[in-house]
Amino acid sequence: MSLSQEREESLVKTLKENFPADIKDATVVRRSRIDVTVAPDRMVEIATFFRDKLGFDHPSGVSAVDYNREARFEIVYHLSSIRNVGQRDIIVNLKESVPRNSPRATSLVKIWPGVENYERESLEMFGIQFDGHPRPEKLFLNDNWDGPPPMRKEIRFPTD
C-alpha cells in the first residue's frame, strides 16, 4: 500500500471548496482517516453532500464525547463508503459540538437510517437531544431509569 495521502487531501479540498464558510476544520489525520468539524446548523447540508456527492453511503457509527472541561459535547459521525470502491478504507469523522448546558443537535436519521440506534444511545448515555429523531427513547437503559446520563464524565463508579 502506498503511503501517499492524495485521495484524502483531494477529499478535504473538495469539501473546503464547496463549503468555504461552514467547515471549521478539515484535516487528514493519517492515511485513511479524515477529521471534519462543522457548524451544527449546517450539519444536515454537509452530511447530505457527503452521502450524495462524495459517496459516503455506509454509516459506521456515532460517538458522543464529553469534553466537560470545555463545557461541550462533541458528536462524531463515523462514515465509510461502499459505493466508491477506491475509498473503502477511508473513515471520515464528521464532528459537531453542542454546548453542555443545552445539548441539542439535528438528527441525521433521514440521511443515514442506520444512525438511529447510535443517536438513541447518545441520548440516554449523554443526554443529547436529537431533533427530528423518529424514536427518541431509551435503547439499552431500563425504561424506568431516571438517574443522570451515565456516560457523562462526572459520573463515577462507587468503587472508584
| Positions that interact with other proteins (CB under 8 A) | 1, 29-30, 32-33, 35, 57-61, 63, 65-66, 76, 78, 82-83, 88-89, 91, 93, 112-118, 138-147, 150-151, 155, 157, 160
Taking the least distance from each CB to other proteins, the nearer of 41 and 133 is 133
Taking the least distance from each CB to other proteins, the nearer of 42 and 138 is 138
Query: In the complex, what is the shortest distance from the CB of residue 120 to other proteins, in angstroms, rounded to a whole number?
Result: 10
Query: In the complex, what is the shortest distance from the CB of residue 88 to other proteins, in angstroms, rounded to a whole number?
Result: 4
Taking the least distance from each CB to other proteins, the nearer of 82 and 132 is 82
∠81-67-62 over CA atoms, to 5°?
25
Helix, strand, or coil (residue 156):
coil
Q: Which residues contact 43 (CB under 8 A, 6 or more apart)?
A: 94, 96, 105, 106, 108
Distances (CA, A) of 125 to 103, 139, 158: 12, 9, 18
CB count within 10 Å of CB 124 equals 19
Asked whether the beta carbons of 81 and 87 are under 8 A apart, the reply is: yes
Query: In the complex, what is the shortest distance from the CB of residue 104 to other proteins, in angstroms, rounded to a whole number?
Result: 21
Query: In the complex, what is the shortest distance from the CB of residue 159 to other proteins, in angstroms, rounded to a whole number?
Result: 9
Beta bridge partners of 93: 35, 78
Taking the least distance from each CB to other proteins, the nearer of 20 and 142 is 142
